[in-house]
């Protein structure tokens, strides 16, 4: 639609009282309101400046001029430019208290800062401090030591602050500490009496593979047992065939002379009436091609107890790769120890002759 705007000047200087009027027409988009802007002339101001201008809408509602936006205020952000240097011990000895602190630079004083400490993704401490105090955030922490704990810990410190403009800000730093654990006997000795009473040689299952897969001694219990029993060996390896849970456990002797668990294999020992003989034996010799009868083939074979018993694969149809007895995990053999292919191959490739074999 059209909007007519009348611009009115002051009374002319000739004193005729005529008012100079100029009409401007412009095409504007459709509007709900037509405004006429008039400049009221009342003669010259005594100071020689133009007369004031009033703006009025036909509806009678005053139209305010847009507010002038002031220049953006310069703000100081308490932690935006902060520099955090996290100071951690490189290695923490077993049982020592960890002392960690954060050196902070460029911190604007006079604000409340929240500090969070996180270890391996878990918040362990939080507190607030006034930045004007120039406080150095510090954490004193005692780790809980366990037999199979991780050998490193990830440490993170986070500073948080809500600025005057309502913005939430956070800065952080992190690092890693190496944790030295206690030696094995720190854990073995307190557990020895319990474990010696726990371990038995009687089968405890229901003659299913599913039961065997869900039940076994813990790694700690196994290591405590073989070390508390003070088994010796002519090689760096030790084998314990657990009749209770149908497992063949392979241990390796470390530099301190302690047997450490290296591999666990699900097996099938002698069936009732044909039990694998209990006792402490030695591996004697190996047969890569195993042996074949009219009923089955097993390979490879690792003999023990003078060669009368063996660790070998499950039963295959004679001279084929077709399993005739795929079962595993419960007493089923005529006295030998049946194993999965990958496990008996590991024993064949890695365990020397004359290695101690404990059947219990």
Q: How many CB atoms lie within 10 A of CB 82?
A: 20
Location of structure tokens 């049946």: 338
Instruction: Say what the pLDDT of residue 354 is.
Output: 98
Whole-angstrom Cα distance, residue 56 to residue 36?
Answer: 7
Domain ranges of the chain: 2-57, 83-179, 184-359
What strands, in cross-sheet order, belong to the sheet with 297-298? 291-292, 297-298, 315-316, 323-325
pLDDT (tens digit per residue) in 45-86: 334 433 333 322 323 333 333 333 333 334 445 677 778 899
How far is it, in rounded angstroms, from Cα 228 to Cα 199? 12
| Residue 233, pLDDT score | 95
Would the pLDDT of 160 be above 80? yes
Q: Answer whether residue 169 shows pLDDT above 90.
A: no
Q: How confident is the model at residue 4 (pLDDT cuts 50, 70, 90)?
A: very low
Please, which pLDDT band fits residue 218 given cuts at 50, 70 and 90?
very high
Say whether pLDDT at 30 is over 50. no
Residue 214 phi, psi (nearest 5): -100, -10
Q: How does pLDDT run across 233-246, given as a tens digit for each residue? A: 999 999 999 999 99
pTM: 0.65
C-alpha–C-alpha distance, residues 1 and 3, integer Å: 7
> What integer pLDDT is reported at residue 83 of this predicted model?
86
In CATH terms, the fold of domain 83-179 is Immunoglobulin-like (2.60.40)
Q: What is the mean pLDDT of residues 295-318?
A: 96
Is the model more confident about 61 or about 162? 162
Confidence of residue 111 (pLDDT cuts 50, 70, 90): confident
Say what the pLDDT of residue 1 is: 42
Which of helix, strand or coil describes residue 1?
A: coil
Give the model's confidence band at 301: pLDDT under 50 very low, under 70 low, under 90 confident, else very high: very high
Asked if the domains 83-179 and 184-359 are classified in one and the same CATH topology, the answer is: no
Per-residue pLDDT reduced to its tens digit, 8-28: 344 343 444 443 433 434 433
- Calpha distance 16→28 (Å, rounded): 36
Mean pLDDT over the full length of the chain? 82
Give me the CATH code for the 184-359 domain, please: 2.40.440.10
Q: Is the pLDDT of residue 38 over 50?
A: no
On the CB side of 302, CA atoms within 13 Å amount to 25
pLDDT at 126 over 90: yes
């Amino acid at each position: 639609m059209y909007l007519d705007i009348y611009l009115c000047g002051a009374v002319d200087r000739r004193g005729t009282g005529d008012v100079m009027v100029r009409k401007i027409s412009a095409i504007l988009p459709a509007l709900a309101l037509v405004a006429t802007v008039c400049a009221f002339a009342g003669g010259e101001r005594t100071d020689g400046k133009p007369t004031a201008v009033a703006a009025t809408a036909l509806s009678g509602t005053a139209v305010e001029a847009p507010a002038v936006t002031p220049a953006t205020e310069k703000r100081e952000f308490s932690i935006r430019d902060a520099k955090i240097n996290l100071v951690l011990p490189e290695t923490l000895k077993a049982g020592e208290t960890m002392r960690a602190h954060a050196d902070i630079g460029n911190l604007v004083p006079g604000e409340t800062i929240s500090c969070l400490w996180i270890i391996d993704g878990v918040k362990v401490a939080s507190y607030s401090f006034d930045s004007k105090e120039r406080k150095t955030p510090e954490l004193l922490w005692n780790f809980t030591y366990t037999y199979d704990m991780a050998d490193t810990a990830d440490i993170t410190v986070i500073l948080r602050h809500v600025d005057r403009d309502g913005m939430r800000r956070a800065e952080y730093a992190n690092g890693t500490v190496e944790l030295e654990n206690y030696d094995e006997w720190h854990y073995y000795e307190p557990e020895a009496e319990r474990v010696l009473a726990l371990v038995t040689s009687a089968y405890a299952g229901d003659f299913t593979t599913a039961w065997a897969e869900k039940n076994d001694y813990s790694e700690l219990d196994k290591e405590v047992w073989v070390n508390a029993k003070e088994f010796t060996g002519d090689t760096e390896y030790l084998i314990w065939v657990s009749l209770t849970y149908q497992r063949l456990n392979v241990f390796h002797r470390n530099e301190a002379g302690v047997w450490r668990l290296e591999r666990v294999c699900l097996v099938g020992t002698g069936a009732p009436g044909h039990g694998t003989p209990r006792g402490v034996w030695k591996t004697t010799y190996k047969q890569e091609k195993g042996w074949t009868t009219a009923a089955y083939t097993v390979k490879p074979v690792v003999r023990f107890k003078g060669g009368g018993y063996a660790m070998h694969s499950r039963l295959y149809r004679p001279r084929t790769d077709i399993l005739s007895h795929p079962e595993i995990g419960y007493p089923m053999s005529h006295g030998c120890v049946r194993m999965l292919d990958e496990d008996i191959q590991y024993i064949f490739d890695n365990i020397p002759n004359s290695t101690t074999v404990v059947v219990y």
